[in-house]
Amino acid sequence: MLVLGMLKLVVSGTAQSKASGRWKLVLPLRFLGSSPCRIPADDSFHSTSLSETEPPRVFITGGLGQLGIGLAGLLRRRFGKENVILSDIKKPPAHVFHSGPFIYANILDYKKLREIVVNHRISWIFHYSALLSAVGEANVALARDVNITGLHNILDVAAEFNMRLFVPSTIGAFGATSPRNPAPDLCIQRPRTIYGVSKVHAELMGEYYYYRYGLDFRCLRYPGIISAESQPGGGTTDYAVQIFHDAAKKGTFECNLKASTRLPMMYISDCLRASLEVMEAPAERLSMRTYNISAMSFTPEELARAIVKHIPDFQITYCVDPLRQAIAESWPMKLDDNNARMDWGWKHDFDLPQLVATMLTFYGASTRCAQAN
């Protein structure tokens, strides 16, 4: 009754705020939070959001995986080295440790997360910690903890301290009953991996916190990401990274997906730029909180043909992993990203030929490109 009474008071005197063209009630989280013990009892907690002119203070979770170090580099160039704190539960290599602030942060430790946000005056979070599709299936209990319980901690901290929160989703958030070519932003999502289920959960929880508590939640569904300097963490699209290393070093590659498996892919610099752009987009430009982004779509066979243009002797063979193949066949072949393009001007730079040339240049193997073309 007491809570109901407080609710009525809050609602009647309340604040309404306009975002994305919609009016929503902004209610104090501490009255409504599902975990009241987490909400401070005194009135002294305050928003850490900074004025429009100050750069944000950014915290990256799970930052030592395939994407986090590159993201930290991009954000540090934009906002200043000291304003971007990279974190993980792993030990950073020396060059990462010396390239800017790094701290240990386990996303399952809620108290520690609050401490970090307060002590470092964090205003934006990029939440990258996760177990990916293949490793998630190999350790469902851990994937559930990290991808779901960890996300709850991040959502609560972000809402409590009025932060802007980016959580990446994935093509893995779709399932076999989703439209596959292309998959639109809004459609049936019934994934059958713990990874996919946890990412649909993240999309829905983030949007719920946005509508319910006014949390500035922003989410992009990434395709498979291809990078040269960092290795993938155990996903279904990993072959599209490994193939470049093996092509350059050995001239052969054994692929764990069938030759005809078509999946959406993106070069890392496009992915990281998209993530920064959606975080910087004015709220009124965002008609949604979760967007597909897309760049290219190819099969292992097509990728191999593109590599042969640079390395004529390159040979691909196939030894299909049934787990990864089943996952890949339930994912979209292509994403429809028209809403991202229209709302906040998303545009990819890298198509397949540019991706292949860039990756092989990194490995010092694109020398025969000119002759072959």
Ligand X SMILES: NC(=O)C1=CN([C@@H]2O[C@H](COP(=O)(O)OP(=O)(O)OC[C@H]3O[C@@H](n4cnc5c(N)ncnc54)[C@H](O)[C@@H]3O)[C@@H](O)[C@H]2O)C=CC1
Looking at 56, 73, 92, 168, which residue binds ligand X (CB under 6 A)? 168
For residues 224 and 296, is the Cβ–Cβ distance under 8 A? no
- Choose between 154 and 311: whose C-beta lies nearer to ligand X: 154
Q: Which segment (14-22, 127-135, 294-302, 360-368) binds ligand X by CB under 6 A?
A: 127-135
Mark the segment that binds ligand X (CB under 6 A) among 116-124, 128-136, 279-287, 331-339.
128-136
Nearest one of 21, 24, 1 to 11, comparing CA atoms? 24
Residue 339 binding result from ligand AKB, ligand X, none, given CB thresholds of 5 to 8 Å by partner type = none
Partner from ligand X, ligand AKB, none contacting 168, C-beta within 5 to 8 A by type: ligand X
Q: How far apart are CA 257 and CA 322, in angstroms?
A: 8
Binding residue for ligand X (CB under 6 A) from 60, 75, 146, 335?
A: 146
Q: Which residue has the tokens 């009953």?
A: 177
Q: Give yes or no for residue 203 binding ligand X (CB under 6 A).
A: no
Q: Does the protein bind ligand X through residue 191 (CB under 6 A)? A: no
Catalytic residues, which ones?
195
Residue 146 binding partner per list ligand AKB, ligand X, none, with a CB distance cut-off of 5 to 8 Å that depends on partner kind: ligand X
Binding site for ligand AKB (CB under 6 A): 132-133, 170-172, 195, 224, 235-237
Q: Choose between 107 and 360: whose C-beta lies nearer to ligand X.
A: 107
132 is an interface residue for ligand X by CB under 6 A: yes
Dihedral of alpha carbons 319, 136, 327, 322, sign: positive
Q: Which of 88, 137, 246, 270 binds ligand X (CB under 6 A)?
A: 88
CA 192/CA 195 separation, integer angstroms: 8
Name 254's Cβ contacts closer than 8 Å, sequence gap at least 6.
246, 316, 317, 318, 319
> Considering the rule CB under 6 A, would residue 170 count as an interface residue with ligand X?
yes
Which of 128, 217, 253, 267 touches ligand X by CB under 6 A?
Answer: 128
Pick the closer one to ligand X by CB: 68 or 214.
Answer: 68
Q: Residue 236 binds what, of ligand X, ligand AKB, none (CB under 5 to 8 Å, by partner type)?
A: ligand AKB
Q: Which of 49, 106, 299, 361 binds ligand X (CB under 6 A)?
A: 106
Residues forming the site for ligand X (CB under 6 A):
61-62, 64-68, 88-90, 106-108, 128-130, 132, 146, 150, 168, 170, 222, 224-225, 232-233, 235, 237
